[in-house]
Amino acid sequence: MSDYQELKDLALSCGFSHVGDLDADTIQVRPEVRESCAENKCQSYNKNWVCPPACGTLEECSQKIHQYKKGLILQTTGQLEDSMDFEGMMELAENHGKHMDRFSDEIRKRFPHALILGDGQCKRCKVCTYPDAPCRFPDKKSSAMEAMGMVVSQVCADNHIPYYYGPGTLTYVGCVLIE
């Protein structure tokens, strides 16, 4: 068994605000999440190798997730000026992406087969090669938790880590399944 306290410290050093244990057995994939992907509100559906439909069926995603037993939940929390602070939201999302990239690079050195899940489409390349050519960085690409069918707030609740940190805060969430 790996030293999870050391991995949590590593995650915090990459910039995350909060890190918690993730028990893969608690994770459920839900058809309604996949249906909401298909509505394309996030403009990522069918545009990226890590989003539906390219990321696989819900059953394939569930199989991928449940090859693992344990991992970490990774959160970046920030304070917004008000509910219309879109600049603050974008800045926070960008910071969370940077934390995910930093942590992914480190964790993959130790656990090359770790499954890393962020939020939104993969942003490793300015323009994704999908669907015309294979992924440029198959070892570095990462799906969103939602793309795999997860309800992020539920995953946090089932693993006893808050999702809401008080008025005016916003939290972006990712996770890694390690072993």
Judged by the rule CB under 6 A, the positions of this chain that interact with ligand SF4 are: 48-50, 122, 124-125, 128-130, 135-137, 140-141
Element (H, E) at 91: helix 86-110
Closest approach of Cβ 112 to ligand SF4, in Å? Answer: 16
Closest approach, Cβ 71 to ligand SF4, in A, equals 21
Nearest to ligand SF4 of 13, 129 (CB atom): 129
What ranges in 14-57 are assigned the alpha helix state H? 31-38
**50 versus 150: smaller Cβ distance to ligand SF4:** 50
- Min dist. Cβ of residue 130 to ligand SF4 (A): 6
Closest alpha carbon to 174 in 72, 94, 105:
72
Nearer to ligand SF4, 116 or 150 (CB): 116
Distances (CA, A) of 131 to 51, 99, 128, 177: 12, 27, 8, 27
